[in-house]
Amino acid sequence: MTLPLIFLLTSLFLSSIEGRFYAFTRQENLHTVSKIWLPPSAAPAFAPLPASPYISSVPSPAPAPAPAPSFTRKIFNVVSFGAVGNGESDDTQAFKMAWDAACSQTAFSVLLAPAGYSFLIFPTIFAGPCKGGLVFQIDGTIIPPDGPESWPKNASKRNWLIFYKINEMLMQGGGVIDGKGEKWWKLPCKPHNKGSNAHPGPCDSPVAIRFFMSSNLTVQGLKMKNSPQFHFRFDNCQNIHVEMLNIKAPALSPNTDGIHIENTNNVHIYNSVVSNGDDCISIGAGCHNVDIKNITCGPSHGISIGSLGIRNSRACVSNITVTDSVIKHSDNGVRIKTWQGGYGSVSKVTFNNIHMDTVRNPIIIDQYYCQTKNCTNQTSAVYISDILYSNIKGTYDVRSPAFHLACSDSVPCSDLILSDIELLPAKGEFMANPFCWNAFGAVQTLTIPPVSCLQEGIPQFLTQDIIDQC
């Protein structure tokens, strides 16, 4: 046998061994990390990431037909970490392991809850900070334990899934987050239940998804239903982008706010549909620079700032815009609600281009908010000023007036501006008597119904120390 032939056969033999070894090691590693190459078009396992103002480090799909290995994105599939996904087995540990693995990556990584599975997750905390950006991709269904009796005895009943100290995360997917809140709503301590004599409130029901002390977050494209309490909650967060959510719960489900923000700044909430038993969107104390646009809300309690000032607390809220939205078949439209005894201010708020469809209180300021019948009258109050209501049209439920501007006895509202408002009765007789109390401002155009109760000018007894509380 000639020397060149021997060399050729030896090379082929070694190549075959190397190929089998590569295939073997690749199969062995699938239980920890799956790798996919970024394709020229959308891959079924993970759609291309949409543009986001806060997640700038996401690589775009390369146009080349065969991208180089340096453009890999690691996918951490919870099934590869032991998740069963039958809706009965506890998949919490598999999600935690997948999270820890994804969170430890310096490159952008993906935690995948794949389609075709129903994952049971017990209350848990997904903690950061992570080393790189992360995508939490929900394509299957995620559920909690079914009701209070199934909740772990040693776990808080106030939260289900907490995301803590996360920076740069995208939560998205075509799946469903089902809060299974029906048994929680039936607790006898819930204020809507007949015969209840308990103090109204959350009654230790869990918030479904809570982000705490996190920044640069995008949540989009998800469906969520039937949370025991709030569906999404953001506390002490910065730079939040929420878009294309579909949130649904029954009209009589208590405390099921769609999206609640507290001490959270620079927020965009766009292009979403919410119907539930409480506020579609609620804005708590310490929120600034919030833009809400193109929301379809209702049946619900409307879009609210507050409640603020509970238990004599300080509340500062400013630079809030709600535009281009529809509120239908709801107890309230756009609302500002504060407790007596609080202090602080709500200022620079715009409600513009909003359509009302059979809404009981389309425009409401309530500075006497109280969940019981025996709230004590107090002199201190959150100061409300610089509020613009413009281009608000549609129909209202005549059981309540179209305008309800109930400001504090001791701290009047100032600079309330009404412009281009036309609200007609959904049925029945026209109700031409809006309610105003200690409310100051201006009617820039004729309104329907006419608002003659709004006092012109600036209140004389408004002191500088009240104005400067924030």
Active site residues: 301
Torsion of CA 403, 352, 382, 347, to 10 degrees: -150
Whose CA is closest to 48, among 35, 56, 34, 38?
38
**Per-residue tokens: 155:** 């776990």
* 329 in Cβ contact with 298 (< 8 Å): yes
Calpha distance 342→223 (Å, rounded): 36
Q: For residue 418, how far is the Cα from the chain centroid? A: 29
Got the DSSP string for 66-126?
S--GGGEEEEEEGGGGT---EEEEE-HHHHHHHHHHHHT-SS-EEEEE-TT-EEE--SEEE
**372 phi, psi to nearest 5 deg:** -130, 180
What's the rounded Cα separation, in Å, for the pair 108 and 106?
7
On whether the CB atoms of residues 155 and 123 are closer than 8 A, the answer is: yes
What are the φ and ψ backbone dihedral angles of 17, each rounded to 5 degrees? -65, -45
**Taking the chain, what is the end-to-end CA distance rounded to the nearest angstrom?**
93
Region of 93 please: left (phi>0), alpha (psi -120 to 50) or beta: alpha
Burial of 224 (0-12, 13-18, 19+ CB in 10 A): buried
Q: Is 86 left (phi over 0), alpha (psi -120 to 50) or beta?
A: alpha
Do 414 and 458 form a contact (C-beta atoms < 8 A)? yes
Separation between Cα atoms, residue 108 and residue 110, nearest integer Å: 7
Q: Is 148 helix (H, G, I), strand (E, B) or coil?
A: helix
